[in-house]
Amino acid sequence: MKNQVKLLPFTIQSVVDQTNETPEGVQLVQAPSVWEDSSQGEGIVIAVIDTGIDSSHPDLKDRIIAGRNFTSDYQGDPEVFEDNNGHGTHVSGTIAASLNNEGVVGVAPKAQILSLKALTGQGSGNYEWIIDAIHYAVDWRGPNEERVRVISMSLGGPEDVPEMHKAIQNAVNQNISVVVAAGNEGDSQDDTFEYAYPGAYNEVISVGAVDMDLQPAPFSNTHTELDLVAPGVDVISTYPDNKYAKLTGTSMATPHVAGAIALLINKSEKEFDRTLSEEEVYAQLIRRTVPLGNRKSAEGNGFLQLNVVEKLQDLIPTTSVNAN
């Protein structure tokens, strides 16, 4: 097995001490429009496999249900999963930063995060760490028998590692949606394909990046397994030491989708009055995408738009179809 998996390269645009806003990306995917019907993701646990989390950050401290360290950081202590990089904290904030009238708010502000630190402060890790974290997420049970419903991974490498693929397939078979970044090796050409793993596996939900004007990000990998796109340029979110930062990368697009799935699980399971399978959750997600007019290799099914189904309902004539 090849040894290293890394954070997909990302760019730090700026770091600030304070902000008070609903991030533009959260607004663009229309998350607030479904908060009421989805209880803001309450009760859904999302495992974030990354560099850890700033557990004392005011926007995150109430969102963390548990965590574990799989790396050699902190002398390999499994109980210490603090973020010594920044990436994991940023991703976690986009998923679920609390709606507390300060800082930022995430896509699913009442979802809970299981923070699995599988990458070091340098942003790299062994494939074994990633695989162990995936298995841990599948087997984990919370204090009230909660289970993980979503895994978010903004990481990757050039190697197709069969053991990692098998772990992901097992997670999906256990009814967990696995959301991953497509990768940042793009060359602005939608007809030349770049594959990073696990983003290129068919079983994962592979997320590409667009900017806030919904234009494809030039760095975003294009390939035949891309599922959808979300905001990934100048994304503001939580950052260690109680700060906030704007970061750019498909790493930043991925958590928009992970948080959206938490909302859609609650909304859809309430409507159907039963537990949905991973395939059904995926179908509900893809129903809520809007084509942007690019090749499928650049945008998959399109841009995440959580209120599009309700908007379509508004187009249906109000006169009864059964009227004589």
Which letter does DSSP use for residue 32 in this model? G
Q: Please indicate whether residue 251 is annotated as part of the active site.
A: yes
Q: Is 10 helix (H, G, I), strand (E, B) or coil?
A: coil
Q: Is the pLDDT of residue 121 over 60?
A: yes
Which percentage of the chain shows pLDDT scores above 90? Answer: 72
Q: Which of 55, 124, 177, 251 is catalytic?
A: 251
Sheet holding 155-156, edge to edge: 124-126, 4-7, 155-156
184-209 pLDDT, tens digit per residue, is 665 566 666 777 789 889 999 999 99
16-73 pLDDT, tens digit per residue, is 888 888 999 999 999 999 999 999 999 999 999 999 999 999 999 999 999 999 999 9
CB proximity list for 313: less than 8 A, separation 6 or greater: none
Q: Which of 57, 73, 87, 115 is catalytic?
A: 87
CB proximity list for 58: less than 8 A, separation 6 or greater: 98, 100, 102, 103, 242
Q: Is the pLDDT of residue 297 over 80?
A: no
* pLDDT on residue 313: 79
* pLDDT on residue 11: 73
Q: Which of 38, 50, 223, 237 is catalytic?
A: 50
| pTM given for the model | 0.93
Q: Is the pLDDT of residue 322 over 60?
A: no
Query: Which pair of structure tokens corresponds to residue 44?
Result: 């859904």
Query: What's the rounded mean pLDDT across residues 134-149?
Result: 97
* pLDDT on residue 187: 59
Q: Please indicate whether residue 57 is annotated as part of the active site.
A: no
What are the backbone angles phi and psi of residue 305, rounded to the nearest 5°?
-145, 100
Domains of the chain in start order, with CATH, are 4-315 (3.40.50.200)
* pLDDT on residue 73: 96
* pLDDT on residue 8: 62
* Bridge partner residues of 114 (DSSP): 47, 66
Q: Is 9 helix (H, G, I), strand (E, B) or coil?
A: coil
* CB of 82 closer than 8 Å to CB of 52: yes
